[in-house]
Amino acid sequence: MPAMALYEQVKSFITRKIQDGSWVAGHRLPSESELVAQFGVARMTVNRALRELVEQGRIVRVAGVGSFVAEDKPQSTLLQIANIASEIRARGHDYRCEFLVAERIAASPDIAVWLDLRPGESVFHTVCLHMENDVPVQLEDRYVNPRVVPNFLEQDFSNVPPSEYLVRNVPFDQIEHVVDAVLPTAEQAERLDMPASDPCLLLTRRTWTRTVPVTMVRCLHPASRYRLGSRFRADGNPSIG
């Protein structure tokens, strides 16, 4: 086995400290000079290790101050329909939802295709902004098939968000998830309180009941505040718990 490169040794040391809990979020790392002396390597070697750890989201560097263990970004599962309110509260944080749009509109050609409707046919449309500790973490843009959920817009979504209402009341037997890296529009960036030049993760979800499409929703997350992932066993079944 080839010897580990010097910068990889520095990265491995720091990563182990973070993973085993020795260095928690906000912990200040040893200075570049201290790492140079500890590992007996050049400053440029330490600098490369720290730069790559920043790119991986493990640490943050503050000019003139030092390097710190990064806050762990919340992660939402891809193997099931996640309840973002429950996820946020489970972390001990405050959850709030701003309901921005609730309307019945004519389906555009692309939405009609997604929901197996005729172009121009009636469709329900909602837009919600999900907040964690008053910081926007998800912009939810949803379309719902009125053939399946005719009373959708009659619900009080101030207490139960649309996704939770659908999971509770409309049995689904298929889920499709697609994740893309995108840049937000100017309007989306304003709603998410982020620069329009920063990347987002876009999760597009569709659900079906007895082969009939129920909903299509696009969930936009600032990549700096959120991540998407899954854990599953080797047999392909999701890991629950």
Residue-by-residue DSSP string for 112-174: HHHHT--TT-EEEEEEEEEEETTEEEEEEEEEE-TTT-TTGGGS-TTTS-HHHHHHHHS--SE
pLDDT tens digit sequence for 75-90: 454 445 567 887 788 7
Task: Please indicate, yes or no, whether the overall pTM of this predicted structure exceeds 0.75.
Answer: no
pLDDT of amino acid 173: 78
The set of residues, in sequence order, having a beta carbon less than 8 Å from that of 103 and lying 6+ positions away, is 124, 125, 126, 153
Closest by CA to 109, choosing from 121, 99, 101, is: 121
pLDDT of amino acid 82: 63
pLDDT tens digit sequence for 161-185: 888 888 888 878 788 888 889 999 9
pLDDT tens digit sequence for 34-73: 999 999 999 999 999 999 888 877 888 888 888 998 876 5
pLDDT of amino acid 15: 86
d(CA 135, CA 213): 32
pLDDT tens digit sequence for 137-147: 999 999 999 99
pLDDT of amino acid 46: 94
Query: Is residue 201 a contact partner of residue 228, using CB atoms and an 8 Å limit?
Result: yes
